[in-house]
Structure 1
Amino acid sequence: MVLTRKFILTELRDFAFLIIGGFLMTALGLTCRNCVNSAKDFWIIGSFTAILWLLLWKGNSYLTDYVSSKISWLKTPMKRFIVGIVSTVVYTYAAISLMTFAYQFFSGYNFSRAGATSIMSIIITLIISLFMHCRAFLHHWRKTAIDAEKLQKESIAAKYESLKNQVNPHFLFNSFNALTNLVYEDQDKAAKFIKQLSNVYRYVLDTRDKELVSLEEEVGFLNAYMYLQKIRFGNKLQMDMQLTGVESMVAPLVLQMLFENAIKHNIVSEENPLTIKVFAADQYLIVQNNIQLKTVLQEESNGIGLENICKRYEFLTDRKVIIEQTETFTVKLPIIAASL
């Protein structure tokens, strides 16, 4: 809960409204008729009603928000509804009982004459709480609808960026340039190069409408992509992949984008070979490369690739993508279970 100035002012307004309402109801005899026989009775019953309303209305409001944060309306609506109602009843009964005991103990006032106050408060609170739970459900449903729309837009943007990265003139130029040399040097290798290039583009087209693919599929595509890059760079580019036994779903083309990013920003030479590692640890897929930044980039970098990856994963899992830069550049992608 963020304590902004607007939030604090809203809470103070609600508190004032409930306190004034409690005393007003007492003055009008709506909480308990023939109970106010003196000024002392008025202040005791009025303050009791005002504080009780604060506890019930605001307390149940906070309770509703807390339960919603722990139990999703969308994943387990029946559980959320039952827990919400039960928690409301228990809290309401406990608040009224403790308030009645505290006031009787400190003021000596016999609240048995004001029993109607508790009954009316319980009825009103249950009605208001039911409204709050319905409001919470509608709020979460609306938020999910908005998130789904945002996911669609971000996914389209991310897929477009991924496709653009694959089809950009530099990638095509380098691939065809390497192929031209292979045709004269090694026709068998040239044929394999064409097949791998075809696999790369087939995968791009096949996954353009998918939100998730298996790690096995993504690794197969990555191997085809790296074959093309290895023809270009040879031993100057090294890949260390340790994913045996790892099962996960991933956003398509994400691993390739991270490899492309590493190659784009770092020197790849005999003196300074670039090593890209892929492994799993602590429920994350980790892509890591040594840092040897280029002073001049062939292509302008705008950071859209990493930003798109982060945004795509925001809608796929509650855990965030972690980006770290120390002696190495590391990107950690949350492992997503296949059942999701």
Structure 2
Amino acid sequence: MKQKQILFLHFSYWLLVLSKNIFAIITSQNVNIDILNLTIFTASFLGFYVNYFFVVPKFFNPKKLYFTIVGFFVGVFFFALFRYSLEEILLPKIAGFRNYAEDTSFTYYFYDNVYYSSLTIFVSTSLWLFTYYSKLERERSQLIEERKHAELQALKTQINPHFIFNSLNNIYSLVYQNSEKALPAIEKLGELLRYTTKDLEKEFIRLDQEVGYIESLIELEKLRIGNPELLIVEKKISQSGVLISPMILVPFVENAFKHGDFRGKGFVVSISEDMGKLNFYLQNFKITREKDKVSGIGIENVRKRLEILYPKKYELHIKETESEFIVDLRIDLSV
């Protein structure tokens, strides 16, 4: 809860108490009673904030309830002390009268004021506890957000080296073959690295930027594939301003190229967005071979990031057979 809301609760309580006292003074025809209303209000105010700022913070212990109970009676003690000082010491000297009989002991005064002070001390303690637990909840939420941010940054740093490793393998193959496609491939990789270096630092980028990255990646991969016409990309984006976390979709495409069978076969990527609802579909054929131990890094990254960034706002279905790999991802990107 924000500080302004806490202050509003304090203000509302005292406005209610003050209104009650003003009404009592207006309707009363006894000056002495009017003065006693003021002394009770003053004692309540002083007792409230001594309890709020000093007593409860000192005695509150969620693991030891008796500490809190002792603290309650300490708060009552201060209320009684303030009222006793006003009504039994100050008033006789100033106004010539007192509230209790002259020989009333402080012990009896304290006992009698348990009733009068209970509401004040209860509200004071309750507001402190409310503020205390609101602060704990705010700090807990902040820690969770910081942990999420740190985890996301760690996951992103895993994605980028994985992509570089895959691309360098492809370019190495072109250079080894003395292919004329090697230099354009290096240039395209440089463009993509500049893109990822810039956008991975951001929490969110435009969806069309993420799609543009995928298209550039596919263009890079086409340089090493004999039948690039088999790489089918379909896209339909209705709102260019829709935001998405960078590198959410890319690992699926990387995985398809790393493990895909392009010998007379290709793959299909379909990306559509309508009113903030993203549909991503990928289908490719796999090369039958022993599974690479690091191949799942990108996919597992995506699962973790989706759970952190879009809890209950996404559906991810992956179907994998001996020869085929299908990804069907739906994310609600609307704010």
2:327 aligns to what? Answer: 329
User: Which position in structure 2 is the counterpart of 1:309?
Assistant: 302
When residues 301 and 194 of structure 1 are mapped into structure 2, their CA distance, relative to the original with a 3 A threshold, is closer
The 10-residue stretch of structure 1 (293-302 or 128-137) with the greater mean CA deviation from structure 2:
293-302
1:141 is matched with: 138
Letter in 2 for 1:248: V
Separation in 1, partners of 2:296, 2:118: 56
1:159 corresponds to: 156
Paired position in structure 2 for 1:174: 170
Q: Is the 8 A contact 2:235 2:271 kept in 1?
A: yes
Q: How far, CA to CA, are the matches of 1:85 and 1:304 in structure 2?
A: 53
Deviation at 1:330, TM superposition (A): 1.3
- Closer/same/farther in 2, CA of residues 118 and 330 from structure 1, 3 Å limit: farther
- Over 3 Å counting, the alpha-carbon distance change for 1:326 and 1:183 in structure 2 is closer
Matches within 5 A, 1:178-189: 178=174, 183-184=179-180
Give unpaired runs (5+ residues) of structure 2: 14-112, 321-325
Note the alpha carbon deviations across 1:25-47, whole angstroms, 9 max, x for none. xxxxxxxxxxxxxxxxxxxxxxx
Post-superposition offset of 1:302: 6.1
* TM superposition shift of 1:144: 2.8
Residue 273 of structure 2 corresponds to which residue in structure 1? 280
Residues 252-284 of structure 1 deviation map (CA, whole Å, 9 limit, x = unaligned): 2222112113334544442x4311111125733
Residue aligning to 1:227: 219
Whole-Å Cα distance in 1 between the matches of residues 5 and 285 of structure 2?
Answer: 52
Kindly state the Cα deviation for residue 200 of structure 1 after the two structures are TM-superposed. Answer: 0.8
Q: Give the aligned residue type for 1:223.
A: E
**One-letter amino acid matched to 1:287:** F
Q: Where does 1:1-340 land on structure 2 (aligned, <5 Å)?
A: 73=1, 77=2, 122-123=119-120, 125-168=122-165, 170-178=166-174, 183-184=179-180, 192-233=184-225, 234-270=228-264, 272-281=265-274, 283-290=276-283, 292-297=285-290, 299-301=292-294, 303-317=296-310, 319-325=312-318, 328-335=326-333, 337=335
Q: Cα distance, 1:85 vs. partner?
A: 8.5
Output the CA distance in 1 between the equivalents of 2:9 and 2:306.
Answer: 30
Q: Which runs of 5+ in 1 are unaligned?
A: 1-72, 89-115
Counterparts in 2 of 1:123 and 1:298: CA distance versus 1, 3 Å: same
Q: TM-score normalized by structure 2?
A: 0.55
TM normalised by structure 1 equals 0.54
CA pair 212-172 structure 1, distance change in 2 beyond 3 A: same
Report the alpha carbon displacement of residue 165 of structure 1 after superposing the two structures with TM: 1.3
Query: Cα RMSD (Å) of the superposition?
Result: 3.8
1:301 Cα deviation from its structure 2 partner? 4.5
Letter in 2 for 1:258: F
Structure 1 residues 302 and 196: alpha-carbon distance in aligned structure 2, compared to 1, 3 A threshold: closer
> Contact 2:239/2:276 (CA < 8 Å) preserved in 1?
no
Tell me the alpha carbon deviations over residues 5-30 of structure 1, each in whole angstroms, 9 at most, x when there is no partner. Answer: xxxxxxxxxxxxxxxxxxxxxxxxxx
| Larger gyration radius, structure 1 or structure 2 | 2
Distance in 2, Cα, partners of 1:293 & 1:279: 24
User: 1-side partners of 2:9 and 2:315: how far apart?
Assistant: 34
